[in-house]
Amino acid sequence: MYTIPELQQLIEKAIPAIEYPPHPKNLYDPITYIMNLGGKRLRPALVLIATDLFSGDVKAAMPAALAIETFHNFTLIHDDIMDNAPLRRGKQTVHEKWGVNNAILSGDVMMVEANKQLAQVNAEVLKDVLNTFNATAQGVCEGQQLDMEFETRDDVSIPEYINMIRLKTAVLVGGAMQLGAIISRANVAETELIFDFGESLGIAFQLQDDILDVYGDPDKFGKQVGGDIISNKKTFLLLNLQQAATAEDQEILKKQLSNTDLNSKISAITALYEKYKIRELATREMTAYLDKAFDALDRISVPDSRKAQLIQLSKELMNREN
């Protein structure tokens, strides 16, 4: 078996080797730029990890891994436009560097490039690979749309929120792993179980992100602690507070949501989270999804020794500080 760092290293070597057409430069240079900005390469690594888990050919799965990474970065270009974000991984975002119109087009062609990479997969599994990839990509777009709609809604339910993060974040984790299983010729039950594992892990990961946004170490989190509070983002924590608070505290919360003194706002809303033990509630929910993920992994009929690295990676992700 490969170690996870070895698989990540294979991806790091493969990404700069992708050849894009030289012209028009303003269409293809942004793709090279964002693909080489770095990052954890977690999603493509999961394709290869799942391939290795089922004793498949890791090199045969590389096109699918690159397709997942290309698609992920395509979504980042378009997300940054929607968020009007100036920086991505500490560097100028594509739309800041090349302009919004160029960024949109470059993002669009990245979806084409992802499909070109998928076309290199063995023909025997290509149909299932394409179906899985397209369902994954469509789910991510649906999740982004729901996330945008939630910004203007005051009646978002907790199940709706869980479904949104499932689509926006978790489906891509599950879909990446399912691709690796398909390429390894795993049976249908196993491909479904590895998807379930990835999806549940992805939901737990996002719930952990919601918690870290409020309670993370500012020196390690990598983003502004309290950023979700400042932007009135509907997170698992805020939705549960709105549901649990008394009428009196609802009024306090409502006033704080429009408070322009940001430090005071963060402090007051965090105090309400403490009063209603919202962090503990969110941690229980996160743990429930993590348990669900490991239950799916337990039901996959491969030796435990082949699962050890994946279990270790999952625990590291869930114990992260950034």
Q: Identify whether residues 206 and 76 lie together within a single domain.
A: no
Last residue in a domain, options 135, 163, 197: 135
Last residue in a domain, options 93, 109, 135: 135
Last residue in a domain, options 135, 154, 172: 135
Given a cut of 70, is residue 124 above it in pLDDT? yes
pLDDT of residue 175: 98
Q: Which is more confident, 301 or 4?
A: 301
161 found inside a domain: no
Confidence of residue 232 (pLDDT cuts 50, 70, 90): very high
Sequence-distant (6+) residues with CB within 8 A of 206 are: 165, 168, 169, 170
Q: Containing domain of residue 193, as a range?
A: 187-322
Q: Identify whether residues 17 and 126 lie together within a single domain.
A: yes
- Extract the tokens encoding 139: 């789910």
Partners of 88 in the β-ladder: 91
Given a cut of 70, is residue 256 above it in pLDDT? yes
Given a cut of 90, is residue 38 above it in pLDDT? no
The per-residue pLDDT for range 132-177, each reduced to its tens digit, is 999 999 999 999 999 999 999 999 999 999 999 999 999 999 999 9
- The dihedrals phi and psi of 92, each to the nearest 5 degrees, come to -55, 140
Encoded amino acid at 100, one letter: V
181 found inside a domain: no
Q: Which is more confident, 1 or 283?
A: 283
Q: What is the pTM of this model?
A: 0.93
Given a cut of 60, is residue 222 above it in pLDDT? no
Given a cut of 60, is residue 110 above it in pLDDT? yes
pLDDT of residue 220: 63
Encoded amino acid at 122, one letter: N
Q: Identify whether residues 243 and 125 lie together within a single domain.
A: no
Nearest to 226, CA basis, from 212, 244, 240, 236: 212
Q: Identify whether residues 194 and 314 lie together within a single domain.
A: yes
191 found inside a domain: yes
Q: Identify whether residues 219 and 298 lie together within a single domain.
A: yes
The per-residue pLDDT for range 59-90, each reduced to its tens digit, is 999 999 999 999 999 999 999 999 899 988 88
Given a cut of 80, is residue 225 above it in pLDDT? no
Give the CATH number, domain containing residue 18.
1.10.600.10
Q: Are 16 and 270 in contact (CB under 8 A)?
A: no
The H or E element containing residue 274 is helix 262-275
pLDDT of residue 90: 85
Domains of the chain: total: 2
Buried b or exposed e, range 240-272, using 16+ CB within 10 angstroms: bbbebbeeeeeeebeebeebeeeeebbebbbeb
pLDDT of residue 79: 94
Q: Identify whether residues 128 and 192 lie together within a single domain.
A: no
**Strands 91-92 and 87-88, bridge-based pairing:** antiparallel
Question: Using CA atoms, how far apart are residues 252 and 272, in angstroms rounded to an integer?
Answer: 9
304 found inside a domain: yes
